[in-house]
Structure 1
């Protein structure tokens, strides 16, 4: 073999070795892609309810409890848990009949435990023989399928020793300033609203994304001068210019009760 042919062979071999190692120009391999939720199947699988659970940012939500409930037989449910990619699958083969879908996520936040209902993309029941695809998402605010709200409720009471303050409540305004991330890790926004009447007959604010807030109140009549009010957690501690607190789980809802005063 000639010296020239040997040189060419050596060069070719070196090129192949460098190529197998990712190149000889010092370039590194591309970083791994960011995981994304698995795509939702286009059609359901017979005798199976399946789908994907996502958080408010559209990313996979692991550890959610998903259930298929029988529409006729009381307390007959098929349960499963969403995986790391947000997907789940549960059999609805037995007992025969139709089913509806539901899901919840549990989280611990600032030393307290919370349970949230997740929003289904469809609420209509389906026959078990046919199966169904039901996706879920975690909403901190918005309207539930039953007409309620996903967000928390703030209830405002007037100082018990100042009964005339009750007349001011319709003109009160509350400001909530986030004190850290919300329960899902997202960044909250300052909320400033006038009080409304809640479904339980109290005055307050509804549909607030759950988090810890610095809370202030003031009297702000239309066309009149505004006046800051003192505030505290209801029947707890001294009145001050603001109070810092998170909402608490109460039954299936999240609630925070505060009390305002002119002192």
Structure 2
């Protein structure tokens, strides 16, 4: 995995936690309880909470966070163990995208006793084993035959245009690409419309959408667009390619 001094792996459109870490939700004997917030500590209502019975298939419990981002599940009479998950539903164009949120404690919760499982809406960290993160992905490859482009040194700037899927407006960020089994990628990009530019060692590159067996898009100094499900992508992604400008182009 290529290292970078830029803000790669950071979520576009969501900032860092400010101030001291949020205090954990107080425990309530016999209940699984928790609070769901974004990275700024703002409560998130309407988040789906799945309380999955680890001993019996398809017998879990489902609830949703209230206006304060809180939930409570009664397990006083349930002598099982439960794994707790939180899913945030985001609308992007005509698609609904489910994002699993990060728990304060990933361990199972004992029934009868209960426990606290708070969640934060933030990107799942990308690693060399799993470089994709939990949000949108931007895949960037060199154009066919463009062997003079060292894709490992390409820097890509993503500038949000308008509101993103999480309701934020985001800000411009510059990334290097990470290696993945599906090609060079920028993980954890909030879905939306972006202006995308690329450089290699300070030299501007031309960029265009990579097409799946269709008429190639025109090369330009910048690409303006959003995310698609091309190339059998499991989550809406952006597929681009770059090259050095050609004489007369």
Equivalence for 2:116: 133
Following superposition, the deviation at residue 233 of structure 1 comes to 1.5
Following superposition, the deviation at residue 42 of structure 1 comes to 2.2
Following superposition, the deviation at residue 258 of structure 1 comes to 0.8
Does the 8 Å contact 1:218/1:227 carry over to 2?
Answer: yes
Higher relative contact order (CA 8 A, sep 6+): 2
Structure 1 residues 190, 256: CA separation in 2 closer, same or farther (over 3 Å shift)?
A: same
1:245 aligns with 2:225: yes
Does the 8 Å contact 2:103/2:117 carry over to 1?
Answer: yes
Flag the structure with higher helix content: 1
Counterpart secondary structure, 1:104: strand
Equivalence for 1:218: 199
Does the 8 Å contact 1:78/1:91 carry over to 2?
Answer: no
* In 2, Cα distance between equivalents of 1:258 and 1:180: 20
Aligned-residue Cα RMSD (Å) equals 2.7
Following superposition, the deviation at residue 169 of structure 1 comes to 1.5
Equivalence for 1:209: 190
* Structure 2 counterpart of 1:152, from 136, 144, 157: 136
Structure 1 residues 116, 248: CA separation in 2 closer, same or farther (over 3 Å shift)?
A: farther
Following superposition, the deviation at residue 184 of structure 1 comes to 1.8
Equivalence for 1:233: 209
* Structure 2 counterpart of 1:168, from 150, 161, 178: 150
Unaligned runs of 5+ in 2: 1-22
Equivalence for 2:29: 45
Does the 8 Å contact 2:139/2:239 carry over to 1?
Answer: yes
Unaligned runs of 5+ in 1: 1-38, 221-225
Q: TM-score, normalised by structure 1?
A: 0.71
Counterpart secondary structure, 1:107: strand
Does the 8 Å contact 1:175/1:216 carry over to 2?
Answer: yes
Equivalence for 1:197: 179
Deviation >4 Å, runs of 4+: 144-148
Counterpart secondary structure, 1:164: coil
Counterpart secondary structure, 2:199: strand
Per-residue deviation, residues 45-82 of structure 1 (Å, max 9, x unmatched):
31x21222222322221111101112232333210111
Equivalence for 2:239: 257
* In 2, Cα distance between equivalents of 1:147 and 1:124: 20
* In 2, Cα distance between equivalents of 1:89 and 1:197: 41
1:177 aligns with 2:188: no
Q: TM-score, normalised by structure 2?
A: 0.75
Higher radius of gyration, 1 or 2: 1
